A and B are shown apart, each in its own frame.
Chain A
């Protein structure tokens, strides 16, 4: 494979949103343990292994978010099939206008970075995440009555 072409592709389209990562990651090789500490995510190991288990069972599914009522134990983490991660501190999202799909809206840059100069607690911005297969707005339309108790 040509080394110049990254895999997976840095630009792709999903559910009407174009997603773009920079060609070069912000960090090319960081251990999972270092990421856990730098980003202050103590349950990273656990949720990654749960995701991989889920992914092996239900490939191609849209993943829900949430979890059990009790926090998963971080005392005895499961073994991951990798030790190191590539990281990106920004992602760019771009959509088309709701009422006219031929109009492309400006790209939005979303930050997810660890504590650093000027950002003592890091940057964690808020996004809308698709959590239900078949609910690709606006095609899903007004699909019936919708109510959810929290």
Chain B
């Protein structure tokens, strides 16, 4: 299994959260897994545009083009990340405020959204380069 890690956020990955759940064990069954909350997430890969120094994100995909999804325990969530859809030269006409994140293929990381906890991650990128 490949482990996707962000190149800009030490030991972390940027993911889209799709589902928060807790399985209900069947009556009388001896469940062999730890009782915990689980999430279904889709992974985003990031790279830095050298010209603008902005972090650009895209969905990680299987070879057949579908997005890579996975299960992680809820306790591995760290914080909210603000992304901005990359509209390109001309915005797609089907974008609305409710669907632009769904239809977009490329996103920009909004590093001005929250400076006290996320900025140190991005500073790490600057230091290591």
Contact = CB atoms under 8 A, between A and B. Distances in A.
Nearest to A46: B69
Nearest to B16: A124
Given A35-B19, A93-B79, A86 B24 contact: yes
Interface residues of A, number: 81
B57 to A, nearest CB: 8
Nearest to B2: A66
A127 to B, nearest CB: 5
Secondary structure of the A contact surface, majority rule: loop
B47 interface: yes
B52 interface: no
B80 A69 contact: no
B21 to A, nearest CB: 4
B11 A81 contact: no
Contacts of B11: 130-132, 134-135, 137, 140
A127 B43 CA distance: 10
B24 A84 contact: yes
A126 B44 contact: yes
A105 B59 CA distance: 29
B116 A65 contact: no
28 contacts: A12-B75, A15-B76, A15-B78, A39-B18, A52-B33, A59-B34, A63-B70, A65-B41, A68-B2, A71-B63, A71-B64, A81-B32, A82-B23, A82-B24, A82-B29, A85-B24, A86-B21, A88-B20, A91-B77, A95-B78, A112-B18, A119-B98, A124-B18, A127-B14, A127-B80, A132-B5, A148-B6, A150-B45
Interface of B: 1-7, 9-26, 29, 31-47, 60, 62-64, 66, 68-83, 98-99, 101-103, 107, 114, 116-121, 124, 127-128
Given A15-B75, A70-B63, A111-B17, 5 more contacts: A8-B37, A65-B13, A66-B68, A147-B128, A150-B46
